[in-house]
A and B are shown apart, each in its own frame.
Chain A
Amino acid sequence: MTALLQQRLRGLASLAEALLTPHGADRYLELLDPMLVRREIRGRVVAVRHQTPDTVTFTVRPSRAWRGFEAGQYVRLTAEIDGVRRTRCYSPCGPGSGDLEFTVKADPHGLVSRHLHATTRVGTVFGLSAADGEFTLPSPRPERIVLVSGGSGITPVLAMARRLVVEGHRGEVVFLHYANSADDVLYRTELAALAERHRGFRVVHAHTHGRGGDLSGFFSKQHLAHAAPWFRDAETFVCGPKPLMDSVRELFEAEGLGERLHTEEFTAPPLNFDTEAAEGTVRFARSGRECANSGKPLLEQAEDAGLSPEHGCRMGICFSCTQVKTAGRVRNARTGEVSGEEDEEIQLCISVPVGDVEINA
């Protein structure tokens, strides 16, 4: 019965799409209410709070196309700022179904984070992508788990912690969180509540610039040994500012534990381009433009040629700049890998042409 009904509904929906060609149903539905869209995902803010003066925490109720996320994953959140749509990746830390909770720290130089901090209100609507990312808990779950976070990097690991508590994880979990000082600690009460609900869950607060925490100063082997003396038998998940990530990684490499460390980074290492030795021509097939290869990433070359291909992060994370390369070879500026497959999808922002290249842009 319900199957039949569903079939009928689907039939109706495709009839509507055919009638509303070429724009499609969403372009009409969104005029009534942006949340009515069927294919895209949108989210409406249902709660806002400020845990610290420079952060904003908001809860977003996603529209119907949302398929949930796994703890640790991120979504691309899109806001419109002075007419321009801007996309950034943020990890939600809700329980995994239903509403998503984001915490964003206003970076003094960050256009989007400052905007979100200053303007997010109940009722604000954002664009959302499906959840993405490999930074997730393996299953079966490891016995022992160390979660390390710094500042607003707490969100993906907090999502993991919540997940583990909900699942009734039996092993030991240590949550080592870094903040500048006691006043900057995010989710203090939530962490305490989790520790209360779960016997094997321990929270260790480290303050880099203030007293009153369990630990003080920057991440070190002593810190880790103090928080989780058994860290060698555990799987460790870390997310936070680059210096924190770097020192955790260094330590684990030195200990030969690189395999057991899982990291999430939104800041890619700086890319190096050789603009001297560049040769060949870049052709943008759809627009018919052509330019000499400058050795810079294709996204920049396209922009220099007067095109404005879609993009987001400009560092290989968000995949909004993906286009089909129809001919030639490109080097991935992050991995150094050169590939020459035909009709291959590449990310313009991190692909540098090696000789002649044709892009379907």
Chain B
Amino acid sequence: MTGLQDRLTPEQIEEFGRELDALRQRVVDDLGEADVEYIRTIIKTQRGLEVAGRGLLFAGFLPPAWVAGVAALSLAKILDNMEIGHNVMHGQYDWTRIPELSSQRFEWDNVAPAENWRHSHNYLHHTFTNILDKDRDIGYGILRMDAAQKWHPYYLGNPVYATLLALLFQWGVMLHDLEIERVFKGERTWAENVPVLRKIMRKAARQIGKDYVLFPLLTGPLAPLTLVGNASANLVRNLWAFSIIFCGHFPADVESFTQEETDEESRGQWYLRQILGSANITGGPLFHILSGNLSHQIEHHLFPDIPARRYPQIAAEVREICERYGLPYNTGPLRKQLWSVAKKIVKLALPGTPSGGPEVTVDPDRQLRAA
């Protein structure tokens, strides 16, 4: 049986790893003021949008003001979570030693506490990307996202669960940290969850307090309008974040791996798995910013800790490297990737392995394509 290890010859994989290491080093050596300036501009924009959005909702009795307020607030939340929060918490700006940009200290406008997320996302997901039973992002324990996941009648609800997850995405991310399914399997005790739970409740209380109690109350008679406005902004952000994130790992052709395949992985093999397990989304500069540059999911998975504004700059080179080694570089416009994800969610609701489709990602007979 051929697997991940056999994609490239040992010499090739070593050279491939070296090339990527060198690329990374070049970027790291070049980091400086421009990167800090960039993120500060984004932060300023985000804070400006937030203040404007909150302010406009005070005039929410005028429909255009309400709509504009919700739009500004949605954008603020999207920027906060994606281009700022996600990236800062990855440690992309730790080298600046600026406390506000420190991965250890940053807290985002989201009910999932930063500290829990850093563990489940930065560590678990980014280390074990797309390894079945290890990367808990594969299905978040609720969905069937890979044909190699055993079917169960429960999965008939796949599309329903996915829709709910999209609508309530931030709550999904929050609960994700509890690793409930591992508790049921006995791999994790309830006691271990107590501190996580405590953090979750504290954070969620603050977020709810501000969006659904304090700000509405402050607008007096407009309270219901403000509340709905804030809820809408949270919803917009949820849908957006869900779309971007699902397009990053679950379109057709993205591969998953078994634990055995990835035992004793070398640096080059790790890079290889990141590339095979991620997908990009094409679009303009504004789209990339709003997606937190996760539209460059491949580059992000190769180098999760370099500032995201660098991903577009190195994308062409990464793609060229992939081509040279005969590796896929999965990319496409948002609608194509979304459609592909949706199809997968529906197909995998049904038993068995969808036939003929490229959705079979754990390919038992991988060929030595580039050897």
Interface residues, chain A, with chain B CB atoms under 8 Å away: 15, 18-19, 21-23, 27-28, 31, 80, 82-87, 286-288, 308-311, 361
The answer to whether A19 and B98 have CB atoms under 8 Å apart is no
CA separation between A15 and B119, bound complex, in Å?
31
In the assembled complex, B32 has its CB within 8 A of some CB on chain A: yes
**Contacting residues, chain B, for A22 (C-beta < 8 A):** 107-109, 203, 206-207
Interchain nearest-CB distance for B6 vs A (Å): 28
The answer to whether A288 and B119 have CB atoms under 8 Å apart is yes
The residue in chain B whose Cβ has the minimal distance to the Cβ of A84 is B96
A-B contact pairs, 6 of them (CB 8 A): A18-B210, A21-B207, A22-B107, A84-B97, A309-B104, A310-B99
CA separation between A288 and B119, bound complex, in Å?
7
Checking A18, A27, A286 against B214 with a beta-carbon cut-off of 8 angstroms, the contacting residue is A18
In the assembled complex, B122 has its CB within 8 A of some CB on chain A: yes
The answer to whether A19 and B118 have CB atoms under 8 Å apart is no
The residue in chain A whose Cβ has the minimal distance to the Cβ of B85 is A22
* Secondary structure class of chain B's binding surface, majority of residues: helix
The answer to whether A21 and B215 have CB atoms under 8 Å apart is no
**Contacting residues, chain A, for B118 (C-beta < 8 A):** 286-287
**Contacting residues, chain B, for A15 (C-beta < 8 A):** 214
In the assembled complex, B287 has its CB within 8 A of some CB on chain A: no
CA separation between A308 and B104, bound complex, in Å?
10
The answer to whether A18 and B209 have CB atoms under 8 Å apart is yes
In the assembled complex, B21 has its CB within 8 A of some CB on chain A: no
The answer to whether A83 and B51 have CB atoms under 8 Å apart is no
The residue in chain B whose Cβ has the minimal distance to the Cβ of A306 is B305
**Contacting residues, chain A, for B218 (C-beta < 8 A):** 19
The answer to whether A308 and B94 have CB atoms under 8 Å apart is yes
The answer to whether A80 and B100 have CB atoms under 8 Å apart is no
**Contacting residues, chain A, for B47 (C-beta < 8 A):** 23, 27-28, 31
The 10 residue pairs across chains A and B that have the minimum distance between CB atoms: A22-B107, A83-B36, A308-B94, A288-B123, A83-B33, A85-B97, A83-B32, A82-B32, A21-B206, A85-B98
In the assembled complex, B179 has its CB within 8 A of some CB on chain A: no
**Contacting residues, chain A, for B34 (C-beta < 8 A):** 83
Interchain nearest-CB distance for A6 vs B (Å): 22
In the assembled complex, B251 has its CB within 8 A of some CB on chain A: no
Interchain nearest-CB distance for A288 vs B (Å): 4
**Contacting residues, chain B, for A21 (C-beta < 8 A):** 206-207, 209-210
**Contacting residues, chain A, for B33 (C-beta < 8 A):** 82-83
**Contacting residues, chain A, for B104 (C-beta < 8 A):** 286, 309-310, 361
In the assembled complex, B44 has its CB within 8 A of some CB on chain A: yes
The answer to whether B107 and A287 have CB atoms under 8 Å apart is no
In the assembled complex, B363 has its CB within 8 A of some CB on chain A: no
CA separation between A308 and B305, bound complex, in Å?
11
Interchain nearest-CB distance for A181 vs B (Å): 38
In the assembled complex, B102 has its CB within 8 A of some CB on chain A: yes
CA separation between A177 and B206, bound complex, in Å?
57
The residue in chain A whose Cβ has the minimal distance to the Cβ of B44 is A31
**Contacting residues, chain A, for B36 (C-beta < 8 A):** 80, 83
CA separation between A190 and B99, bound complex, in Å?
38
